[in-house]
Structure 1
């Protein structure tokens, strides 16, 4: 039975940081994939600030992208996975499409408004320390379960194997998106495949909103 014929969706976990332009492009691709393949995406968090934080530096959980991540955590509680996707789309379109910063509360509020969500969620999220722990829990699960070191990290639900990538510069659309997925899905299920990489020397990331 092919993926197209299967009635049961393939469930994947997609770990992202809204500040990452590579994760953004891959997320747009995954939305295209869902139109042509039976795939269900659960959006999970990952903090690049945690990965890149220098030893001894005190964290600022209202800076370095934490405002957006913490607000995403609260959106997930209130609106579920669909709300996370809607809000992530608004954040990504601002940061990676219009080049509007989402690294502070003002940028986060603007994205909430565009997503049709309560702009007061950002203040609630920053006043609630449990949003920090929620982001950290997603991040730590990715590190411990998949040995994740960056984003995008994608894994089949229930699997202990996750892949960094695919890193995509031009977002495939329609049937091409499905073909990309077919190859990636094959790779995810190969126990002896660990790494495949090509350098991005000279590659320029142009703004892309959707």
Structure 2
């Protein structure tokens, strides 16, 4: 949702979003989590590995395109988290389907971990995803549902930028009352 919001912000504010690969599997690999969640995270390694391959070989612009294509398939279309879905997203983005091979190997997991830590470490511990970096300040969040559109997206960004400008700001939080609303 946050990525969708930032793409909306780009339409109404002079900002550019650079996508960066993080991984819930890396974030939680040393944590005490339920067996069910750990099993779900095992399936997250493959797509994250392909995302890092896209970024490394084709750059952050193609990463944003692939992330969107894959996320649309997973979250909006509820397509299975399998190789065929990854290949379809790669094809949609004009990328070689051979990149899907990276899902099956840990050969480049050091790059994935490095990317993850570059994005996450500046936020500190005790956070998850999403994370954004604004004007040199890293934040957990904002968690939005649904993602604001148009000028409303810009106004939310203005608020985030305002908070980033205050060195004493650390956290805002409230309980969720709805699940993700994709539209």
Q: Distance in 1 between matches of 2:160 and 2:45?
A: 30
**Change over 3 Å in CA distance of 1:112–1:170 after alignment to 2:** same
2:147 maps to 1:171: yes
Partner residue in 1 for 2:124 = 147
As a proportion of its length, which structure holds more strand?
1
Give SS of 2:19's match: strand
The two structures have a TM-score, normalised by structure 1, of 0.75
Q: Distance in 1 between matches of 2:182 and 2:156?
A: 22
Q: Distance in 2 between matches of 1:197 and 1:55?
A: 22
Structure 1: unaligned runs, 5 residues or longer: 1-24
Partner residue in 1 for 2:114 = 137
Give SS of 1:162's match: strand
Structure 2: unaligned runs, 5 residues or longer: none
Partner residue in 1 for 2:167 = 191
Q: How many aligned positions are there? A: 177
Question: Do the aligned residues in 2 keep the contact of 1:74 with 1:125 (CA within 8 Å)?
Answer: no
Partner residue in 2 for 1:11 = none
2:183 maps to 1:204: no
Residues 9-88 of structure 1 correspond to what in structure 2 (within 5 A)?
25-53=1-29, 63-88=42-67
Deviation >6 Å, runs of 4+:
none
Q: Distance in 2 between matches of 1:167 and 1:43?
A: 17
Give SS of 1:64's match: helix
Query: Relative to structure 2, which stretch is displaced further, 77-86 or 141-150?
Result: 141-150
Q: Distance in 1 between matches of 2:31 and 2:10?
A: 40
Question: Do the aligned residues in 2 keep the contact of 1:71 with 1:126 (CA within 8 Å)?
Answer: no
Give SS of 2:174's match: coil
Deviation of the 1:192 alpha carbon: 0.8
2:93 maps to 1:118: no
Question: Do the aligned residues in 2 keep the contact of 1:105 with 1:122 (CA within 8 Å)?
Answer: yes
Q: Distance in 1 between matches of 2:72 and 2:30?
A: 29
As a proportion of its length, which structure holds more helix?
2
